[in-house]
Amino acid sequence: MLSKKTKYGIKALTYLARLEDKNPVQIATISKSENISLKFLESILLNLKKNGFLASKKGKGGGYYLLKEPNEIQMTDVMRILEGPISMIPCVSLNFYEKCEDCPDENACTVHKLMSQVRDSSLKIFRNTTLADLCNC
């Protein structure tokens, strides 16, 4: 299931990408427009800033703005930063692999096979979707 953190992060990025002018936007404006708790949004935007998606400007006229063009922001990157592993179980994760303690043979495991297919399908969608695709920018 998608966490609220990731859902709200995508909503905030989409909000910023849809703006005609690329001037900084105050957190309170995004929070009100997207119905996201201000405190929660602050932490999400700081995480996105720390990972190179956003920049911020302090003072009058300050706020957050996109650091990259919407067509350069892939959903795989957003998902991994905000959500963590894309796969549903650790034994099929490409970036966060962990062997399952209860599974003696991954190659014979039916759950492993199914979740590998789910991961591959999800990755295909996330890799082929940018922020520009989501907001028709």
Mean pLDDT, the chain, whole residue set: 93
Answer yes or no: pTM beyond 0.85: yes
Q: What is the mean pLDDT of residues 11-33?
A: 94
13 and 52 fall within a common domain: yes
Torsion angle of C-alpha atoms 67, 64, 16, 133, degrees rounded to 10 = 30
- So what's the pLDDT on residue 95? 85
How many structural domains comprise the chain?
A: 2
3-state secondary structure of 128: coil
Confidence band (pLDDT; 50, 70, 90) for 137?
low
- So what's the pLDDT on residue 136? 81
Which range is most confident: 30-44, 80-94, 101-115?
A: 30-44
15 and 39 fall within a common domain: yes
- Asked if residues 40 and 47 have their Cβ atoms less than 8 Å apart, the reply is no
87 and 50 fall within a common domain: no
Q: How far apart are CA 12 and CA 63, in angstroms?
A: 13
